[in-house]
Amino acid sequence: MPDWCLGPFERVADGKPVLSPRRETTFECPLRGESVRWESDHVFNPAAVVRDGRVCLLYRAEDDSGSGIGKHTSRIGLAESADGICFSSRPHPVLFPAEDAQRATEWPGGCEDPRIVETEDGAYVLTYTQWDRKVARLAMATSRDLVRWQKHGPVFGKELGGRFRDRWSKSGSILTRLVGDRFIATRIDGVYWMFWGEGTMYLATSNDLRSWRVVLDDAGEPLPIAKPRPGKFDSHLVEPGPPAMLTDRGILLLYNGKNSKTVPDPTLPTGIYTAGQCLFDARDPRRLIARTDTWFLRPDRSHEVTGQYVAGTTFIEGLVRHSGRWLLYYGAADSYVGVAVCDRILAI
C-alpha cells in the first residue's frame, strides 16, 4: 500500500461478526401501530464514534416486513463496547420513521447507512439515507447523547430552490480532523466539506453542518471528483466510506467500490463490493492527488458472501481510533457487521 494510506487492516482473530440480527428484540412502530421485530433480518452498514472511552456503533437494522434488498423497513440502532469487539445493543432503535416532518421521505423504506462526526462543542452530526422506496435522499440529524436525535431533513432540500431535493443522493462523508480519539468536523477556507454520491463521488459545502450546497461544474451540474475505473475493483461505482480526515499528506478518504459486469476487474467476482482509498488536496478538496490501484479489504469470510447480498460486501462506513489502534467497521453481505483492525500509527 502507498505510504499515505491507512493500513494494513486485519480481521480480529475469530473473524466473526461483531453484530448479528436478533429476533428477540421488538419495537412499537409508531407508523404501523404494532410491535415489530426491528432487527430480526439484517444488521449492517454502521457509523462509529468513541464516546466516554467506549466505541459506539449506530447501525442499520432491517425488520421482517418485506423480502428482498430495499423491501424491508430500516431503522438505526445503537450498540456500545469497551474494547470495540464485544458489543451490547439497546433493545430499541434510536432513529426511525415516525409521525414527523420526515415521514414522506422515510416511509416505508426507513433510515439507512449512517455516518457520524463530532462538532467542537461535543454535539454529533449524523448523515443517513432516507428511503421511501422511490428515491434515496441524503439527510441529516443531530444529537448530544447518541440516543435522542433531531432530524433536519434532506441535506439538499432547500438549495437552489430545491433543485436537488429529489435527486438520488447517498453516503455523506464529512471532512474531519482527529483530536485524540475524536473525529471533529473541520473547515477549509471557512466552510465544511462533504464527500457524497453513489456511482460517482461529488462534493458539497456548508457553513453550519446543516444546510449544504452542491459544488457545481461549469455546466451547473454536480462536479465529479472520483469516477468508476474500467477494469479495476471500482469499475461499476464509487461511494464514500467513513468520514474523510485531514492528514499531513492531504485529505484521506476510504471508500467503497463495486466491480462491474461489463468491464470488470477480472480477479474479482462481478458485483462484489471492496474498499479502496483516495487522497485529495488539503487546500482544494476538489483535486484528487492519488488513488489506490486495488482494494485493501474484500469479502472472504462466509458471512461476508452468504447474506442477502450474495456477491459479497465489506461495505465500510465506521472508523475510530481506540486504545492505540484503528477499528474499521463494515457491513458484511448486507446482513452482518464486521470489524478490521490496524495497529499502524498514521501521521495526522
Question: What is the C-alpha separation between 244 and 253, in angstroms, rounded?
Answer: 5
What does the pLDDT read at residue 155? 96
Residue from 269, 263, 260, 339 nearest 311 by CA: 269
- If you ran DSSP here, which 8-state letter would residue 244 be given? P
Domain with 30, as residue range(s), is 17-96+103-342
SS3 276: strand
Average pLDDT over residues 14-28: 95
Angle (CA) 29-48-251 rounded to 5° is 135
Residue 278 clears pLDDT 60, i.e. is over it: yes
Mean residue pLDDT across the chain: 96
The region of weakest confidence among 67-71, 82-86, 152-156, 233-237 is 67-71
* Phi, psi for 303 (deg, rounded to 5): -75, -10
Residue from 97, 93, 140 nearest 119 by CA: 140
Share of the chain above pLDDT 70, in %: 99
Residue 280 clears pLDDT 60, i.e. is over it: yes
Q: Give 211-255 pLDDT, tens digit per residue.
A: 899 999 999 999 999 999 999 999 999 999 999 999 999 999 999
Residue 347 clears pLDDT 70, i.e. is over it: no
| Domain assignment of residue 347, yes or no | no
Element holding 336 (H helix, E strand): strand 336-342
Q: Own/partner pairs for 30-36, CB < 8 Å, 24+ apart?
A: 30/97, 30/98, 30/99, 31/97, 31/98, 31/99, 31/103, 31/107, 31/108, 32/65, 36/63, 36/64, 36/65, 36/73
Q: Are 196 and 170 in contact (CB under 8 A)?
A: yes
In this structure, are strands 191-196 and 54-62 parallel, antiparallel, or unpaired? unpaired
What does the pLDDT read at residue 348? 61
Residue 158 clears pLDDT 90, i.e. is over it: no
Q: Are 67 and 122 in contact (CB under 8 A)?
A: no
| Domain assignment of residue 163, yes or no | yes
252: CATH: 2.115.10.20
Residue 74, beta-bridge partner list = 62, 110
| Domain assignment of residue 8, yes or no | no
Question: What is the C-alpha separation between 97 and 108, in angstroms, rounded?
Answer: 8
| Domain assignment of residue 222, yes or no | yes
Average pLDDT over residues 261-269: 97
Q: Give 85-117 pLDDT, tens digit per residue.
A: 999 999 999 999 999 999 999 999 999 999 999
Q: Are 222 and 199 in contact (CB under 8 A)?
A: no
Q: Give 286-321 pLDDT, tens digit per residue.
A: 999 999 999 999 999 999 998 999 999 999 999 999
Residues 6+ apart with CB under 8 A from 136: 112, 129, 130, 168, 169, 170, 198
| Domain assignment of residue 6, yes or no | no
| Domain assignment of residue 141, yes or no | yes
| Domain assignment of residue 4, yes or no | no
Question: What is the C-alpha separation between 32 and 224, in angstroms, rounded?
Answer: 40
Residue 73 clears pLDDT 80, i.e. is over it: yes
Residue 177 clears pLDDT 90, i.e. is over it: yes
Cα separations in angstroms, 208 against 192, 193, 273: 8, 11, 33
Q: Are 47 and 40 in contact (CB under 8 A)?
A: no
What does the pLDDT read at residue 334? 97
Query: How many domains, in total, are found in the chain?
Result: 1
Hunting for cell 489506490 — which residue is that?
A: 292
At 247, which amino acid appears? Answer: T
Share of the chain above pLDDT 90, in %: 92
What does the pLDDT read at residue 185? 98
Torsion of CA 29, 92, 328, 133, to 10 degrees: 0
Average pLDDT over residues 243-270: 97
Residue 165 clears pLDDT 60, i.e. is over it: yes
Q: Are 137 and 152 in contact (CB under 8 A)?
A: no
Question: What is the C-alpha separation between 22 and 37, in angstroms, rounded?
Answer: 8
What does the pLDDT read at residue 162? 87
Q: Are 268 and 235 in contact (CB under 8 A)?
A: no
Q: Give 29-59 pLDDT, tens digit per residue.
A: 999 999 999 999 999 999 999 999 999 999 9
| Domain assignment of residue 170, yes or no | yes
3-class secondary structure per residue, 59-78: EEEECCCCCCCCCCCEEEEE
With 0.95 as the threshold, say if the pTM is over it.
yes
